[in-house]
Amino acid sequence: MNGTIFLRTSVIAFVLSMGFGAYMGGTHDFTYAPVHGHLNLIGGVLMFLAGLFYNSHPNLSPKLILAHYCIALLGLLLIIPGIYGSIAVMPWAAPVVGLGSVVTIVSALVFAFMVYKGTGKAKA
Ligand code: HEM
């Protein structure tokens, strides 16, 4: 496991979210703009950065990269529908967006750990 799976997931998120952005522009309905913004930034930008980082740090454990990917994907798959449901005032949305937020923060902590591990001790 290296960063390629992050890169491939990221571009899917970008394509879906940009399509949704074009739909919003076409219909002049921006109600769900935060869904578009979060899918682009958490799914697109953060995942692409993680993919680039892992592919430029081959010293990192493939198992830990896979663990990070699973946590990041789970968080994304919860937080995006959760944000949608929150805006649409769906009864199921609060626990979904809450859990998605926690899992996404855990994913960010794992990424922070990996960046420190991959970059090693700072040189004077
Ligand atoms: C084809 C490409 C894209 C289209 C057509 C598009 C379209 C839009 C539209 C129509 C809005 C709503 C503006 C409003 O509320 O007045 C929006 C908001 C936003 N977009 Fe995009 N966008 C695109 C790409 C991107 C990308 C690549 C990113 C980030 C990497 C991004 C991040 C955001 C953010 C953060 C918001 C604000 C969301 C919010 O109000 O909560 N967009 N976009």
Q: What is the largest CA-CA distance in the chain?
A: 55
Per-domain boundaries in the chain? 4-119
Mutate to test the pocket of ligand 1, among 36, 46, 47, 80 (most ligand atoms within 8 A of CB): 36
Q: Are 32 and 74 in contact (CB under 8 A)?
A: no
Mutate to test the pocket of ligand 1, among 30, 35, 40 (most ligand atoms within 8 A of CB): 40
Q: How far is the CA of 28 from the centre of ligand 1 (A)?
A: 13
Here the tokens at position 3 are 């960063």
DSSP string, 101-113: HHHHHHHHHHHHH
User: What is the residue type of 52?
Assistant: L
What is the residue-level pLDDT of the chain in tens, covering all 124 positions?
899 999 999 999 999 999 999 999 999 999 999 999 999 999 999 999 999 999 999 999 999 999 999 999 999 999 999 999 999 999 999 999 999 999 999 999 999 999 999 998 655 4
Q: CA torsion angle for 6, 76, 49, 112 (degrees, to 10)?
A: -110
Nearest Cα neighbor of 80 from 100, 65, 54, 59 is 100
Please return the burial class of 28, using the count of CB atoms within 10 Å of its CB with bins 0-12, 13-18 and 19+: exposed
